[in-house]
Structure 1
Amino acid sequence: MSERELIGALSTALVLFLVAIRVPVGIAMGVVAFGGISVAISLKAGLGILTAVPFEMVGDWNLSAIPMFLLMGYVAASSDLTKNLFRSARITLGWMPGGLASATVISAALFASASGSSVATAAAFSRTAVPEMMRMNYHPGLATGSVAAAGTLGALIPPSVLMIVYGITMSESINSLFLAGLIPGLLSAVVFILYITIRVWLNPSLAPKATEEISKAERREAFRDVWPLPLIILCVIGGIFVGLFTPTEAGAVGAALTILLALVRRSLTRVSFADAIRRTATGTASIFIIVVGAALFQRMLGLTGIAGYFSDLVATQFQTQLGVILAISLLYLVMGCFLEPVSIMLLTLPVLTPVLQHFGIDPIWFAVIAVKLLEMGMVTPPMGLNIFVVKGALGDEVTLGQIFRGTFGFLLSDFVTLALIIGFPILSLWLPAVAN
């Protein structure tokens, strides 16, 4: 190991240490990267990169899609759109074993297509679906677990903020990444519904069968209230698929249509709109700080040569793509227990990129695997982000233990989906190939 590679290795270890003691990830990566470049090359080089990289990254046109999709999701969550989605899905699936929980998964999948945010999805349905399930005497674990797990669908089903961040970091087509996540995202929802149905069929006490009669007029009213949001989703995803919009343009169109729909329905107040703007600004700023820090960290890894050294080291330990994928999966699962998804992605991708290239692993396929693993981390103890979102929304109505136990079966279901994604790459690569 050369002197520069040693500096790169020590810098990487220092970043991991700082993250472990709760220093914000973006700041840790940025500060250490500046120090590493200054020591390995020169202070002038460090200052030059410190001034150039943030401007270069924030000026990336693709990054402007993030606030657009976040605003789209927060406006939808602030209005009655989630209630209408859940009501329509409940009327359609209420007859099934665990029908309300399955309705939550379906409506969350649709809402995820309008928000791109797992946290927004989990928060929205914690306030709409869980109280309804509790009123129908559903087991608290099943009710909260289905919402926490269904919320993770926002990470994979397009538009996905994680996919945008991955595409910018890896210089991959965001259109292709969105399309790659669509089938695996829908597959995740189907596997969740199968799990709910089988579990409730085996233990009916978890979810008493719905007995209320629903008139034809109520059915018509439910579907009349819900159709505009799927239409907006179709415009956004369909526009990307046929090449009518770039992801940024699609985000702007989706946000504008969602705001217009909420205004027409008079479900968006000044207070709720201001709150959506505030949450969008906060979320965007936090993501941008991490993106800039990761870009600086990536430059440091390249200039010190430690990324190539790590790639050669991994190549001596593993002989096949599958072995590398399984090792990375284990790494992501462990990190997902302690860190939030964007931080994990931007902390690891600069190091893993040479490894993926060495083994010829398709970066689009790997994106789906990585995002699926990050999804799973959002419901994995002890730091499962969605679990704390659900707990925060419900307060003392449920305990953290009930939510964690409720998500366990969904986590096992995720392993089934992950195995299918790894075993059958065509699930991720078919739609991008058709579009191209």
Structure 2
Amino acid sequence: MSDIQIGFLGLAIMVVLMLLYVPVGVALGLVGAVGIFFVLGSGAMWGIITAIPYDFAAHWTLSSVPMFLLMGYVAYHANLTDGLFRMARLWLSALPGGLAIASIGGAAGFSAVTGSSLACAAAMGRIAVPEMLRYNYDKGLASGVVAAAGTIGSMIPPSIMLLIYGVFAEVPIGKLFVAGVIPGLLTALMFALMVVARVKINPSLAPSLDARPTWGERFMSLSETWPIMVIIISVIGGLFLGVFTPTEAGAAGAFMAFVVAGLRRKLNVDLIKKSVSETLVSTASIFVIAIGAAILTRFLALTGVPDFLSDFVLDAAVNPFTILMGMAVVYLILGMFLDPIGIMLLTLPIFLPVVEAADINLIWFGILIAKFLEIALITPPVGLNVFVIKGIVGDAISTVTIFKGIVWFLVADLVTMTLLIVFPQLSLWLPALMD
């Protein structure tokens, strides 16, 4: 059996392991290790699988992963997002479905202080869903909009997904972060337009609020957003102006989250223990998957599968649009069964060489992957964000109802994805300003 055949056989076995619900990190690492054994022998296998975990985990850029996660968990447990939602509610209440749109605005704001979509959905779900139900909003709309809006955390910097992609694709993390700003805001806008359109057609989905806030109340609410704004300006402003690197931005953001929590008298031993514990668990799970992907990448490189696929694309003269459409289908299918980071790390070793051979901009491709994976977070039957919201609402809303409410936002996501593919400058304009 040739090395190429061993490579493709390894990929087939990996798919089988996934179908058997073997954890993604274990499946990736196991196939990679056994594959290296068949290609190079046991001595080389042990040398590679003992070296790769350390080499990967010691990558300096990845030190910002736990820092960004810590920043988000501190902001979540210190309730720093509460004022953000109240401000959005007061300013947007006059719009059709104002509370739902406020949830989207709040999620977009919180996305800038956490790299996790799940944390974003949890933070907004805890505040926004009970508020919408109190005002008799349709249950599917109330839960669906928060589950969908939480996905913005995968795009707006600092994004853990974009950070890990940048490490694997070897593209500047700072430019990748800045590239996610406009697509993230565009996603929020499309979700808001979907809410307005649906409520205009069927006003019973979101009854109008009887009380109208005064302009004084609206301007006073702006003062409640300072905790989040301080962290956002510290991280994104520092990145864009080149004050610090993306790696340093994680530490700066975590430090500012602790400072702000202290100033608001929310900082205590319990908050620190919870935030650090959840950060360690999330970081460990991410690194297990990433290390497994690194071992699989080495295996595929040894077998020549990436070069084979690249040559195939070049010989077939497949145009970039066709390649992207094919990848979109793969991501949407995988998104129904696997977690987003697992999907990304599973596919990057195969897709990156093809993308490079087709001369597709890697920063633009990273944004498209993040968008594909945002959609994966809300597609049935897995839809991790849906189950985060279900955990918050309990028996008040059924899982089926949440998924029904999600469908409309999936349509909005597909429109956004189309715009990002047709107009690459939506992703590339801001990074170009950093040159």
- Distance in 2 separating the partners of 1:312 and 1:283: 38
Aligned to 2:190: 191
Aligned to 1:127: 126
**How high is the TM-score relative to the length of structure 2?**
0.98
Aligned to 2:285: 286
What pairs with 1:3-42 in structure 2 (closer than 5 Å)?
A: 3-42=2-41
Aligned to 1:245: 244
Q: How many residues align?
A: 435
Aligned to 2:94: 95
1:375 aligns with 2:374: yes
- Distance in 2 separating the partners of 1:352 and 1:117: 24
Q: CA deviation at 1:338?
A: 0.5
Q: CA deviation at 1:153?
A: 0.1
SS state of the match for residue 81, structure 2? helix
The unaligned stretches of length 5 or more in structure 2 are none
The unaligned stretches of length 5 or more in structure 1 are none
Which letter does structure 2 place at the counterpart of 1:410? F
SS state of the match for residue 239, structure 1? helix
Aligned to 2:330: 331
Large movers: runs of 4+ above 6 Å: none
- Tell me the C-alpha RMSD between the 2 structures: 1.3
- Distance in 2 separating the partners of 1:208 and 1:273: 40
Contact 1:130 1:147 in 2 (8 A): yes
Q: CA deviation at 1:214?
A: 2.6
Q: CA deviation at 1:82?
A: 1.6
Aligned to 2:145: 146
Q: What per-residue deviation string (whole Å, max 9, x for no partner) do you get for residues 331-381 of structure 1?
A: 000001110110000000001111111111111111111110100011111
Contact 2:81 2:228 in 1 (8 A): no
1:47 aligns with 2:46: yes
Which letter does structure 2 place at the counterpart of 1:39? F
Aligned to 1:229: 228
1:420 aligns with 2:405: no
Q: CA deviation at 1:316?
A: 5.4
SS state of the match for residue 96, structure 1? coil
Contact 2:238 2:249 in 1 (8 A): yes
Q: What per-residue deviation string (whole Å, max 9, x for no partner) do you get for residues 411-433 of structure 1?
A: 00001000000000011111111
Q: What per-residue deviation string (whole Å, max 9, x for no partner) do you get for residues 174-207 of structure 1?
A: 1111011111110000111111111111111100
Aligned to 2:397: 398
Contact 1:78 1:268 in 2 (8 A): no
Aligned to 2:177: 178
Contact 1:311 1:352 in 2 (8 A): no
SS state of the match for residue 360, structure 1? coil
Q: CA deviation at 1:229?
A: 1.2
- Distance in 2 separating the partners of 1:402 and 1:187: 26
Q: What per-residue deviation string (whole Å, max 9, x for no partner) do you get for residues 95-153 of structure 1?
A: 11000000000110000000011000101111100000000110001100110000000
Q: What per-residue deviation string (whole Å, max 9, x for no partner) do you get for residues 300-321 of structure 1?
A: 0000112222333445566211
Q: CA deviation at 1:227?
A: 2.0
- Distance in 2 separating the partners of 1:382 and 1:249: 38
Contact 1:115 1:154 in 2 (8 A): yes
Which letter does structure 2 place at the counterpart of 1:53? I
Aligned to 1:206: 205
Say which is worse superposed, 318-327 or 366-375, in terms of deviation: 318-327
- Distance in 1 separating the partners of 2:311 and 2:22: 30
- Distance in 2 separating the partners of 1:326 and 1:90: 38
Which letter does structure 2 place at the counterpart of 1:406? G
Contact 1:318 1:324 in 2 (8 A): no
